[in-house]
Amino acid sequence: MDYSRHLLIDAYNVIYKWPKLRRLLKQGSGPARDALASMVQILHDHEKIRVTLVFDGQGDEVQIERPGELLTFSYLFSAKSLSADDVIEQLVGRTEDPATCLVVTGDLAERHTVEALGASALSPDDLLAWIAVTEETLATKIRLHRKSLDSVWKNRMEF
């Protein structure tokens, strides 16, 4: 699997833009963070795209967590001296080919910055639409597969 493209998500920016996730913040940041990860997992799996959810952190150093065992799906928490935007800009700037990076943020200034570095940018609404299209694409594939299996089994049952 390739995973040469990298989806960098300004996670709290997206969480605050999506009402469903914003409501989850009342339960703490963990449930909102995990719900966002669950929603974008389909892009990782189907689109074969590396995903990094970037959060403003509280520690002295950048911290990386993996919600599963995959090295291509991560939570990244900035050091308290940096914002998530700063970390995203550094990641894009240090990438060998910034054109492989796709940044999701509702911050227009951040979008302009990463685009100037050579990355592409999407709004949180664009990300939500991409997820919806991918879910529908997969649902259609599953329906067609089931229909094909039904046909095979019906033919085998006739004797």
Whole-model pTM? 0.87
pLDDT confidence bin for 91, thresholds 50/70/90: very high
How is residue 137 written in tokens?
């694409």
User: CB-based contacts of 102: which residues, under 8 Å, 6+ apart?
Assistant: 5, 6, 7, 8, 49, 119, 120, 121, 122
Return the CATH number at 28: 3.40.50
Look up the domain containing 54 and give its range.
6-157
Within-domain flag for 102: yes
Q: What mean pLDDT is reported for the chain?
A: 92
Q: Which residue has the higher pLDDT, 145 or 109?
A: 109
Domain total of the chain = 1
CA distance 9 to 105: 7
Within-domain flag for 1: no
Within-domain flag for 56: yes
pLDDT in tens, 23-80: 999 999 999 999 999 999 999 999 999 999 999 998 999 999 998 888 999 999 999 9
Q: Provide the 3-class DSSP secondary structure of residue 159.
A: coil
Contact yes or no for 119/99 (Cβ under 8 A) = yes
**DSSP assignment letter at 61:** S
